[in-house]
A and B are shown apart, each in its own frame.
Chain A
Amino acid sequence: MSDAARGDADAAWAQVATFTAELPRLKWFAAVGTALTPSVIAAAERYVAALGLAPSPIARVAGWREAAATAQRPDWSRDWWQAESACEQALQRQGAARFGLQPLLAALTALTEVAAELQTGAASALAAAGVDDPALAKVAAGAAAQACHQRGLALLAGSETGQAFTAKFELFAAGRWPLGIVGGTCFVF
């Protein structure tokens, strides 16, 4: 490995370590249901575009019950989920080529162990909204943990393929929950 490549690799590990350390400090789900700001709309548009999907309207979801219902609608976009999965697989291949599969998985496992604690944030947000639904807290925590894993993968792969996950994570970091594309609309809670 050249000095430049080694420097890039060291920088990627440092970025993931910083990212992992920041996770517990973020205000998870703190802005759900509030009006969409221009920066949130822009991040959602970048997320959809980076997945290679056609532009779609960005719409707000106002409450936890509506969020749960949206995530269970039968007309959710299979293309959206497939695009994310394809992106994850590409990033995993790139990351494994860069660092080796086992070190890559070890770093992602450490990240996932930290992300496992995010349920507290989801449960607190639900409690603040007066909603008693432990399953929904787990759904939200699962979505957030998936986004952390994807963002970590993007950092380790160090390629433009990960732009979608960077934009998606921006939404979570802003206290939101992107619910994906349902019925042709990208919903942001």
Chain B
Amino acid sequence: MSATAATPIKSVDALNTAPEEYRLAVRKIVRSHAVNELYGARVYDEPAIALAPTPYLKWLTCRIAMEEYGHHVRFRQLGEQMGIPETEMTPEGRKPLSIFEFPLKTWEEFCVVKLLADLAEIIQVEDLLKCSFMPLRNLAKVTMPEEIFHSQFGKDTCTELVKTEDGRKKVQAAINHYFPMMPAFFGKADSANNALYRKYGIKQRTNEDMRADFLKRVRDLVEGHLKLKLPEVAEAA
């Protein structure tokens, strides 16, 4: 059986019946999620425990770090079933997204990372909820509630922080720093990889569509809800 958008691949074993380019495409997505979930936990969530201003927020951040790490574990386990070498599913073996190259310095930055990066992650995972590779679709269903909680955490903590003038300035500074890196999160325009993903129903939307959706939703959050300014950035990666 060949995979097309209309013929879901129901299991890892059934992947053997799919075309080579389908298998490679799925491997690429699983590997990318495994690496980036672990990178995010290490670079942002774990260091943020020390920066959190109260025990309540420290323990909540501790839990969020565990959940992000748990997402890595789930993607890694799927990758292992698919025969992806473990070394390719850790940051040591793969180049990370550019956002991970900027270490966290303040609590406000962490809250903004959760606000922006977890919304971007939600948009990526939403697309996988209709993925033709069922194990990946099921994984998206499992991780989605936690991603939504993390994004809501970003919104709630930023909402609290902007109640003071000092907090507003710090949140705005963090948005100015991190937001320009976000459009690249969705990949290049006219991406050959993305075309392949859509050909087989692994993903549903173009990178441009997802980026536009993100920019709309983030503008609503930052300008509409927080009443802050979103910096101008080039929309195409």
Which among B55, B67, B149 has the greatest number of chain A C-beta atoms within 10 A?
B55
Q: Is the CB of A142 within 8 A of B63?
A: yes
Q: Is the CB of A71 within 8 A of B54?
A: yes
CB distance from A59 to the nearest CB of B (A): 15
**Docked complex: A132-153 residues within 8 A CB-CB of B:** 134-135, 138-143, 145-146
Bound Cα distance A28, B56 (Å): 18
In the complex, per-residue mask of B47-83: 1 if CB is within 8 Å of any chain A CB, else 0: 0001000111111111110110110010000000000
**Docked complex: B36-55 residues within 8 A CB-CB of A:** 50, 54-55
CB-CB under 8 A from B67, the residues of chain A are 116
- Interface membership of A7, Cβ < 8 A: no
- Interface membership of A99, Cβ < 8 A: no
CB-CB under 8 A from B64, the residues of chain A are 138, 142
- Interface membership of A156, Cβ < 8 A: no
CB-CB under 8 A from B153, the residues of chain A are 135
Q: Is the CB of B73 within 8 A of A142?
A: no
Q: Is the CB of B73 within 8 A of A113?
A: yes
CB-CB under 8 A from B73, the residues of chain A are 113
Closest to B59 in A: A142
Q: Is the CB of B149 within 8 A of A71?
A: no
CB-CB under 8 A from B69, the residues of chain A are 112, 116
- Interface membership of A163, Cβ < 8 A: no
Bound Cα distance A135, B153 (Å): 9
Q: Is the CB of A138 within 8 A of B55?
A: no
Pick the contact of A145: B50, B56, B62 (CB < 8 A): B62
- Interface membership of A96, Cβ < 8 A: no
**Docked complex: A99-138 residues within 8 A CB-CB of B:** 112-113, 115-116, 119, 134-135, 138
Pick the contact of B55: A71, A113, A135, A145 (CB < 8 A): A71
CB distance from A106 to the nearest CB of B (A): 12
- Interface membership of A41, Cβ < 8 A: no
Bound Cα distance A146, B59 (Å): 8
- Interface membership of A38, Cβ < 8 A: no
CB distance from B159 to the nearest CB of A (A): 14
Q: Is the CB of A76 within 8 A of B54?
A: yes
Q: Is the CB of B54 within 8 A of A72?
A: yes
A112-B66, A113-B73 given as contacts; is B54 within 8 A of A138 (CB)? no
CB distance from A133 to the nearest CB of B (A): 11
- Interface membership of A68, Cβ < 8 A: yes
Q: How many residues of A contact B (CB 8 A)?
A: 26
CB-CB under 8 A from B62, the residues of chain A are 142-143, 145-146
CB-CB under 8 A from A81, the residues of chain B are 55, 58
CB distance from A101 to the nearest CB of B (A): 14
Closest to B70 in A: A116
Bound Cα distance A81, B60 (Å): 15
- Interface membership of A162, Cβ < 8 A: no
Closest to B61 in A: A142
Q: Is the CB of A145 within 8 A of B63?
A: yes
Q: Is the CB of A180 within 8 A of B55?
A: yes
**Docked complex: B98-157 residues within 8 A CB-CB of A:** 149, 153
A76-B54, A138-B149 given as contacts; is B59 within 8 A of A71 (CB)? yes
A113-B73, A116-B70 given as contacts; is B63 within 8 A of A138 (CB)? yes
CB distance from A114 to the nearest CB of B (A): 11
Q: Is the CB of A179 within 8 A of B55?
A: yes
The chain B residues found within 8 Å of chain A, CB to CB, are 50, 54-64, 66-67, 69-70, 73, 149, 153
Beyond known contacts A116-B66, A116-B69, A182-B55: 8 more, CB 8 A cutoff: A73-B54, A76-B55, A112-B66, A142-B60, A142-B61, A145-B63, A179-B55, A180-B55
Cross-chain pairs A/B with CB under 8 angstroms, 15 sampled = A71-B55, A81-B55, A116-B67, A116-B69, A135-B149, A139-B56, A139-B60, A141-B63, A142-B58, A142-B62, A142-B64, A143-B62, A146-B59, A179-B55, A180-B55
